[in-house]
Structure 1
Amino acid sequence: MNLTIQHTFVPHTDPEASLAFYRDALGFEVLNDVGNGTMRWITVGPAGGGTTVVLHPPAVDPGITDDERRTVAEMMAKGTYASLVLATDDVDGAFAAIEATGAEVVQEPADQPYGVRDCAFRDPAGAMVRIQQRA
C-alpha cells in the first residue's frame, strides 16, 4: 500500500486574515477558494506541490451542537484546537521572514533535545504553526 497525505484541515475565523498569513507570511500558493464571506474553504500549499492545507470555517457540520461549537471556539481562542508542523532547511531565515510580516511569535528559534531546531507562530485563528529544521 502506498499512502500519502493529501490535505490537512485548519479552521479559520477570518478568511482574509488567514489567507494573508498562509499566503503572504508563509509564502504558500492559493490553489482553491470557494464560498464567500466567512463561509470560505481556501486551499493553500507550498510552491511546487505537496500536502495542502484547507482553511475552513470551524464547526459548520449541521450535526454539531451549540455546546460543541462553543467548545471549539474556546479551544481555538486558546490555541489548542489545531496545529501544523512545517519543515525547512533554514529555520532562522524562515523565522526572520515570517516575523517581519507581523505574525504572532510564540517561540523564537531554539534547539530542542529531540534533534530539531524550531520556532512557532500562531495563525490568525489561534492554530499553532511550528517550523522545524533537523539538526
Structure 2
Amino acid sequence: MITNIAIASVFVKDIDESKAFYIDVLGFDENSDVTLTDGYRWCTVSHPSQPELQVHLTVPGPPHTPDMIAAMNRALDEGNMHGLGMAVDDCRKTWEELRAKGVEFLQEPADRPYGVEAVCRDNSGNWMVLVEQKAYTGEDFAHA
C-alpha cells in the first residue's frame, strides 16, 4: 500500500546554483548531497515544515535518451518546465518577499476561486505556483 509521496524530482540546469536557490531564497533545508561512484549526484532538499517530502534536484541525464535530455534542456532554457506547487499562508506577502530576493514572477498574486495564486520561476526556469488556499467547492467555478 502506498502511504505517501516521499520524493519529487525537479530538473535543473545546475545543482549547486539550484540548491542555493531552494535553501537561501525559498527557505528549504538540505537533506542529502552525495556523488555516487558512477559520478551521479543525488541532491535533495525539503521544506522545514514537510521534511518527509524530499525534492530531488537533478540535471537531465542518463538513463534518459540523448534526445530526451536535449528536449529537457531546451525546455529549461525556454522556461517551459513545470516545477513545484507550494502552499503559502499569505500569497501577497510571500510575493513581496520573493520579489525582493530577485525571484522572477510570471503572474502577480490574483484572486482565484480556490484562493490567491502567484506564479514564478526558480533559477532554472521551472514554473512554481504559490497558493494561499481557501475553502471552495465546484460551484465556485464558472461552468460552460
Give the alignment's TM-score, normalised by structure 2.
0.80
In structure 2, the CA distance between the partners of 1:109 and 1:78, relative to structure 1 (3 Å rule), is same
1:7 aligns with 2:11: no
Residue deviations 1:37-83 (CA, integer Å, cap 9, x gap):
x953321111142422110121331xx33222211111222233332
Post-superposition shift, 1:21?
Answer: 1.5
Identical-residue share of aligned pairs (%)? 30
Residue deviations 1:69-106 (CA, integer Å, cap 9, x gap):
21111122223333210001111121122111111122
Cα distance in 2 for residues equivalent to 1:28 and 1:92: 20
1:57 to 18, 41, 59: 59
The unaligned stretches of length 5 or more in structure 1 are none
Aligned with 2:43: secondary structure?
Answer: strand
Aligned with 2:4: secondary structure?
Answer: coil
Give the alignment's TM-score, normalised by structure 1.
0.85
Alignment of 1:1-135 (within 5 A): 1=1, 3-35=3-35, 40-48=41-49, 49-61=51-63, 64-112=64-112, 114-135=113-134
What is the identity, as a one-letter code, of the residue corresponding to 2:59? P
The unaligned stretches of length 5 or more in structure 2 are 135-144
- More relative contact order in 1 or in 2 (CA 8 Å, sep 6+)? 1
Cα distance in 2 for residues equivalent to 1:120 and 1:41: 27
| Paired residues of 1:104 and 1:123 also in contact (CA < 8 A) | yes
